[in-house]
Structure 1
Amino acid sequence: MQTKKPVLSRGYLYQTIVLSTSQLVLAGCSNTMSAKLAESPASRPAYEKMAEHYLLNTSFTAQGQDERIRFVILHYTALNQTDSLAMLTGPQVSTHYLVPEKPQWRGGEPVIMQLVPENKRAWHAGVSSWGGWRALNASSVGVEMVNRGYTELSSGWRQWYPYTAQQIEAVSILLKDVIARNRIEPYNVLGHSDVAPLRKSDPGPLFPWEQLASKGIGAWPDQQVVEKHLAGRAPKQAAVVLEVQKSLKRYGYDQIPQTGELDEDTRKTISAFQMHFRPSDYSGNADAQTEAIAKALLEKYRQ
């Protein structure tokens, strides 16, 4: 007949540890016993039971750590509601949150779809980078908005589709919560085009970044500081390309070339920046106003 091993409770283990310690003290120098007995509960090791096989000592905390979620990235789906939901619940692409074009409201609050918990990685950013960080799926929250994006016209121009007022209100409420809980910096509230400017254009020039910034969501330059850096130049006056490249790289667009040449990659990156901070003209030209906006943002957020 097998004899069952005794099951030791956590309380019994703790009593045994204390008893063993007391015995060692008595066997040694008696004048240290009073100090040990006077030890406060706060100085005792903090044990946490893990499964059935080991205990964790959580008495010490390393200084070298930071938040897993550092960014929030906004997208449009370029599809209608039904197709957006089908795509984002399939095996290829996903997002943490989906904001309908016309959200339902219950009790004065918008109904937003959560498709992936924030503690799991959603597949929304793809090949991406910002401020030296790569593969941003691992460190971001993805927010998709049902919006058709744009139609390419025969003239070569794009017809962009606007967001609804209800949708912007809903996404503002969502972002305030996500940003506060995850302590996301204003300059890390981004569009897909900011983190992948060579291949993406969402959320597009009709997304109201300035309106959201007025509610404390994301970054926006102070106009008087923009004027200071404009220094009397006409807004569309040509700027030194290398100065624009350097400023955008410092702000976060870390893949922009540093050649002083207005090549295709530079133009696309400047266009993404303009779409975010000067949507009235996102031609990709390296002009004085673009440089001034970039330097105003650096002064405000990246000192």
Structure 2
Amino acid sequence: MKFLFSAFLLLLLAGCASGPRLDTSHPSSNHDNRVQFVIVHYTSASLERSLALLTHGQVSSHYLIGDDASGTIYKLVDESQRAWHAGESEWMGRTWLNSSSIGIEIVNPGYRDLPTGRVWYPYTAAQVQSLVVLLKDISKRNGIDPRNIIGHSDIAPLRKLDPGPLFPWKRLADEGLGMWPDAKAVARYQVQYASDLPSITWFQEELAKLGYPTPQTGELDVATRHVMAAFQMHFRASLFDGTPDAESAAILRALNHQ
């Protein structure tokens, strides 16, 4: 319908001698792509349930990667349209990222809480390979900055945990799809910070510089702990308790200076 209306309008403008003339000879260079970010999620549901929720529920995403042997990619929303996957969110100072992002959901149960602790579910090799192929295609077509391939927990650290600590961020970074710190730089900085841990203000400033929506209070408040935990889960999944430490400081510095 929108296409028919646009075609009708162009014909009307062209054919109406007394009406306005449409001049397209001065294209502006002052624009960029609508798509600036790619946000990865897990579904916390089976494939069947995920498809139902993402096509007839209150949320949606542009793509869904199944858990079958081949990692089938389902296209659910055209990239030119806004999908409802990010909600209240922020990255690099940009907010409400539904309007400027592509959402990719991956079929994965997320986690299960047991008496012995929380157990997270891994992603399959087929899912990861399908994701790599999909991200390379999306990034090439839209000119996505690798720093803007992120998880739901990165953009909404107070609300979300997906895609979780078992998500293969380093594998993606090795493919040019995301950030990862230089190991030698981290080791060097960690020695320095082991005896001289930076202040909370420093951590908040560096987290914000990296892209995280971080309070600038100078205090280790609840919101800052959540942001720190999201950062740690992304870049140091072995421990993501939200406590600032020398290794976290070293990773932050390495990322912000590479």
TM-score of the pair, normalised by structure 2: 0.90
CA separation in 2, counterparts of 1:291 and 1:127? 27
Does 1:191 pair with 2:151? Answer: yes
Q: Show the counterpart of 1:218.
A: 178
* Code of the aligned partner of 1:266: T
Q: Show the counterpart of 1:242.
A: 201
Q: Show the counterpart of 1:140.
A: 101
Can you list the C-alpha shifts for 1:101-120, whole angstroms capped at 9, x where unaligned? 1253xxxxx63100000000
Deviates more, 1:291-300 or 1:195-204: 291-300
**Is residue 102–residue 164 contact of structure 1 (8 Å, CA) maintained in 2?**
no
CA separation in 2, counterparts of 1:177 and 1:94? 20
**Is residue 243–residue 291 contact of structure 1 (8 Å, CA) maintained in 2?**
no
How much does 1:225 deviate? 2.1
Of the candidates 218, 230, 237, which is equivalent to residue 272 of structure 1?
Answer: 230
SS in 1 for 2:218: coil
CA separation in 1, counterparts of 2:122 and 2:225? 25
**Is residue 146–residue 179 contact of structure 2 (8 Å, CA) maintained in 1?**
yes
Q: Show the counterpart of 1:53.
A: 12
Kindly name which structure, 1 or 2, has the bigger radius of gyration based on alpha carbons. 1
Q: Show the counterpart of 1:285.
A: 243
How much does 1:207 deviate? 0.3
Can you list the C-alpha shifts for 1:196-252, whole angstroms capped at 9, x where unaligned? 0000000000001001111111111111222333244449x8542211111001111
**Is residue 103–residue 112 contact of structure 1 (8 Å, CA) maintained in 2?**
no
Deviates more, 1:243-252 or 1:288-297: 288-297
Q: Show the counterpart of 2:91.
A: 130
Provide the aligned length of Structure 1 versus Structure 2.
245
TM-score of the pair, normalised by structure 1: 0.77
How much does 1:67 deviate? 1.1
* Code of the aligned partner of 1:177: D
SS in 1 for 2:257: helix
Of the candidates 56, 79, 92, which is equivalent to residue 118 of structure 1?
Answer: 79
How much does 1:64 deviate? 2.1
Q: Which runs of 5+ in 2 are unaligned?
A: 1-6, 15-21
Does 1:67 pair with 2:33? Answer: yes
Q: How is 1:21-100 mapped onto 2 (pairs within 5 angstroms)? A: 50-55=9-14, 56-100=22-66
Can you list the C-alpha shifts for 1:103-157, whole angstroms capped at 9, x where unaligned? 53xxxxx6310000000000000000111111100000000000000012235x3
CA separation in 2, counterparts of 1:158 and 1:57? 62
Q: Show the counterpart of 1:40.
A: none
How much does 1:71 deviate? 0.1
**Is residue 198–residue 269 contact of structure 1 (8 Å, CA) maintained in 2?**
yes
How much does 1:259 deviate? 1.8
**Is residue 73–residue 140 contact of structure 1 (8 Å, CA) maintained in 2?**
yes
Can you list the C-alpha shifts for 1:152-207, whole angstroms capped at 9, x where unaligned? 2235x321001011111111111111111110101100000000000000000000
Q: Percent of aligned pairs with the same residue?
A: 48
Of the candidates 122, 128, 133, which is equivalent to residue 173 of structure 1?
Answer: 133
* Code of the aligned partner of 1:53: L
* Code of the aligned partner of 1:86: A
**Is residue 153–residue 230 contact of structure 2 (8 Å, CA) maintained in 1?**
yes
* Code of the aligned partner of 1:215: E
* Code of the aligned partner of 1:63: S
The RMSD of aligned alpha carbons is 1.9
Can you list the C-alpha shifts for 1:18-39, whole angstroms capped at 9, x where unaligned? xxxxxxxxxxxxxxxxxxxxxx
